[in-house]
Structure 1
Amino acid sequence: MEDFNVRLTEAANRNFQDQLPDVCRRFHEMLTKEDFSPEALAKVRSFIRESCKRIVEEVREKKERKRENSEKKASESDEEQYYTPMNSDGEDSSQPPKKKQKKTKFTTSRNVRSKTKCDDEDSDSDDGVTTELESNPHINRMIDVLKPELRSVVECCNTVRAWVQLQVPEMQDGNNFGVEVQGEVLEEVRRVESGSQAFMEALSLYYLARAEVAGKFAKHTGIQDYVYALQELDVKEFHSLRLIVREVRNSCVTMLDMLNKNMDKILTPRSNSGNMLVC
């Protein structure tokens, strides 16, 4: 237990001196990057408009190509439907047996339909048209930068919270002001830790919500409201990511300031003078 306490104290000191100040600095500098700047909002909007416009044009070309193939196959089917092969037994070809003619006609028509279906499938698979809607690269870069920083905050808070809990003395009557300070510090560290975890979970929910809207747009490309829904969803996520950076930065600064100001009470929550009897 003593070895663990020593290692935990060393890790907590590294957090106080190096990691937490660096985290606060990185979150502050993150707002000055190009992807997090307010000017990047125009790029977020334009990407959605251009992507949806490209998909609508591709779907329109695909439907037009499929319609042309269907008309072509239908015309070929009409030409082969009235074709009757010559009688190979030397009978009069102008009056073939009815059953044989009907059977030949049915077989030929079925083969034409099967061939037309296969040709349509081959033409659809080889037409080179794709309806893939890519993720917004600006939002992806923001999330890729923010997610490891949130993970670092959670790990630092977990270490600090464990160290402060080990500094809490045994319960006694009176002289508990330092213990109350430790409780307030633990509550603040726990708040920053749980908030960072909630922000990390919210990042994955964005992709689920966007996939749902994008799937509906892929099925109904003619509905313009889905384009606006995707655009507003990305704009909302852009502002949310900027607010997350500000919130976590302010929370980390507040937590670090509380730890520095109350370090004496955290290390020595009870003083010896509290047990002295004054006459």
Structure 2
Amino acid sequence: MQARVELAETTGKAVLASMPARADVADALLAKCFSTPVAAFRAAAARALAPRKAHAELVATGEAVHALLVDGVADFRALEFWISTRVPPVSDGNNFGVEVQNYVIEQLKAYRVSLAALTEALATYHSSRAAALEKLGGAATTIETSAVESTESKVEEGKGKESKGSKLDKTTKTTTKEDSDDQRAHIVELDVRHYVALEGMVRELSQSYVKAHALVEKNREKCEFPRGAETGGGRMNSMY
């Protein structure tokens, strides 16, 4: 068990040290993928709209954002776990540092839960857009089948019985559905909303890294030694 606690400490400290760089990565993605004003993005999305076709650039951006969010959830979980291993045994006194420590843990958990919820929200865009695309114009093929009784007859060999047969006629019709201006506008609006939402997700991730790093560093001593370093108020006397 002690080895796990030590691994949690090593991992947690590494995550804490990497948070400024993680925020920089998120900011770089903002500059790369979200520099286009919303009005310009809307116009481009309208021009690129085609039946049964995804918005390729937006999908690629969404995948990049999803990867950052997944890493963010893992980072906050690791940091939260490390500080949790520093929680000392329950005591009647000298608990101010423990209260600070618990506050930090709760804040880290809140950041983690919020980021995890963002990853789940990403899937709703694709399902909504797919349903909307189904109603967009394009070629539609309809197969109509009808059975026609034949007037031909035949005599079964050796039995002298006459029987009538039937044949199956198949006809195929191809029709083209007309585009609805409102439907096209609806799909474009889905793309715009997703673009804006993705930008917000990346900003939240970047800000979460900055706020969490500042919170832990400002309370570093209380996080590691809630009852003071001289008491060993962390790992050696912890509940682990």
Describe the shift of the 1:191–1:221 C-alpha distance in structure 2 as closer, same or farther (beyond 3 A): farther
Higher strand share: 2
* Alpha-carbon shift at residue 51 of structure 1 (Å): 3.1
Q: What TM-score does the superposition give when structure 1 sets the normalisation length?
A: 0.64
Unaligned runs of 5+ in 2: 138-175, 232-240
Tell me the residue number matched to 1:38: 36
Q: For 1:154, which of 70, 73, 87 is the aligned residue?
A: 73
What letter corresponds to residue 180 of structure 1 in structure 2? E
Distance of 2:76 and 2:65 partners within structure 1 = 17
Q: For 1:264, which of 200, 221, 235 is the aligned residue?
A: 221
The structure with more radius of gyration: 1
**2:28 matches 1:3:** no
Aligned alpha-carbon RMSD (Å): 2.1
Task: Give runs of aligned pairs for residues 62-73 of structure 1, distance below 5 A.
Answer: none
Q: For 1:233, which of 176, 185, 190 is the aligned residue?
A: 190
* Alpha-carbon shift at residue 22 of structure 1 (Å): 1.8
Describe the shift of the 1:208–1:170 C-alpha distance in structure 2 as closer, same or farther (beyond 3 A): same
The C-alpha deviation readout for 1:158-216, integer Å capped at 9, x for no partner, is 11111111111111112111111111111111111111111111111110111111112
* Alpha-carbon shift at residue 263 of structure 1 (Å): 0.7
Unaligned runs of 5+ in 1: 53-131, 275-279
For the residue of structure 1 that corresponds to 2:49, the secondary structure is helix
Higher helix share: 1
On the 8 A contact 2:23/2:210 being kept in 1, the answer is yes
Distance of 2:86 and 2:22 partners within structure 1 = 25
Tell me the residue number matched to 2:203: 246
Tell me the residue number matched to 2:83: 164
Q: For 1:193, which of 112, 118, 127 is the aligned residue?
A: 112
* Alpha-carbon shift at residue 46 of structure 1 (Å): 2.5
Describe the shift of the 1:263–1:137 C-alpha distance in structure 2 as closer, same or farther (beyond 3 A): same
On the 8 A contact 2:76/2:111 being kept in 1, the answer is yes
